[in-house]
Chains A and B, each alone.
Chain A
Amino acid sequence: GAVVSQHPSRVICKSGTSVKIECRSLDFQATTMFWYRQFPKQSLMLMATSNEGSKATYEQGVEKDKFLINHASLTLSTLTVTSAHPEDSSFYICSVPEGGDPTDTQYFGPGTRLTVL
């Protein structure tokens, strides 16, 4: 199976600061990556679709100016949480579809746990 890495695995920051999370596809090139958020004891909710070479597509209710996504290369997507607040504390997970096809197997990174004080 594909290997997807995320960095950092855990971050604690003060309210009002920005945090950048990286997602890397180590096994294959990915024109599309996905970002999810998971609150404690809940399921995963899709936040946005990261597209290499074009703007990200955000799900309804997700603020694009707060959650900045940059798909810098075919193996790297970054999610920046700007002006973080305590309610942004969550587990952020990225996924990469095999062969770039969302209908194919998707592989998930290990996640980044964000705590905003």
Chain B
Amino acid sequence: GIQVEQSPPDLILQEGANSTLRCNFSDSVNNLQWFHQNPWGQLINLFYIPSGTKQNGRLSATTVATERYSLLYISSSQTTDSGVYFCAVVKAAGNKLTFGGGTRVLVKP
């Protein structure tokens, strides 16, 4: 199956700082999503981004499909950004979402 690796595994930020989370995948994909899992366990959709660049407020994401990686940028971080960020992909010609190990983010006030 496809391998999805996220880095770093843990990230501690001071409020107001910027950060970049990375997702590497081992095969071609036709779906890539970024999620934020809040402290109650709910997965919140951030981006559907199998290729290209998107922005939503303080968050933006870029996927370079030919090089098999995606980046999630968090700017001017806030304490409410704390939680676990997951990248998940569907392999080309596949139908299952495979998750990376996640990046656990803690934003300190």
Contacts and interface: CB of A to CB of B under 8 A. Distances in A.
A87 interface: no
Contact of A111 (B31, B41, B95, B101): B41
Interface in B78-109: 86, 88, 90, 94-102
A16 interface: no
Interface residues of A, number: 23
Interface string B11-37: 000000000000000000011010100
Prevailing SS type, chain A contact patch: strand
Contact of A49 (B31, B42, B96): B96
A67 interface: no
A111 B97 contact: no
A110 B45 contact: no
Interface residues of B, number: 22
A51 to B, nearest CB: 11
Contact of B45 (A1, A42, A103): A1
A102 B97 contact: yes
Contacts of B99: 43-45
A114 B98 CA distance: 23
A112 to B, nearest CB: 9
A43 B86 contact: yes
